[in-house]
Amino acid sequence: MNQVVLIGNLTRDPELRYLDTANGQKAMCRFTIAVNDKDRADFIPIIVWDRQAENCDRYLAKGRKVAINGRIQTGSYTKQDGSKVYTTDVVAFRVEFLNSEQRQEPQQNTQQGFPPQQGFPPAQGFGNQHVEPQYVTRQQYEQEKNQMPAGFEQMAEQEVIPF
């Protein structure tokens, strides 16, 4: 079994490249994460492919925390001076972005007494305003639950959904 699970922070911004293959171009993203272990840190090179590589390039930056699930891949190449270099990388098949980008903190709404949600702007017309609950009778509920919402139409029971 060859499986690696790591959590660490990017040491620099990711590098995205497109490689020519027989099936067209393929996206490859490289970055390094620092994995802390008590009094030391290991610097692990990560390779990500395809759509996930493009997402890493778009949403990750130096310092962001990620969880990596992948496999170890070793290789080697010969430098121009003739010396052989051995490499060890983690090829990620899953990358999770663990911390969101810092967002500007919303102004606290002291009038209503609701604290702002950490890291997110207040929703328009919700959350930072008091809304009275609406109550319906059982009869109203039964009538409304069987009504088709506006913009929808009833399908025949045997009709195939087109997706």
pTM of the model: 0.60
Domain 4-97, CATH homologous superfamily name and number: Nucleic acid-binding proteins (2.40.50.140)
Show Cβ contacts of residue 108 under 8 Å, excluding neighbours closer than 6 positions: 115, 116
Q: Is 16 within 8 Å of 25 (Cβ atoms)?
A: no
Q: Is 102 within 8 Å of 63 (Cβ atoms)?
A: no
pLDDT of residue 23: 86
Q: Where are the chain's structural domains?
A: 4-97
Q: Residue type for 142, please?
A: E
pLDDT of residue 147: 67
pLDDT of residue 69: 96
Weakly modelled stretches of the chain, pLDDT under 70: 100-163
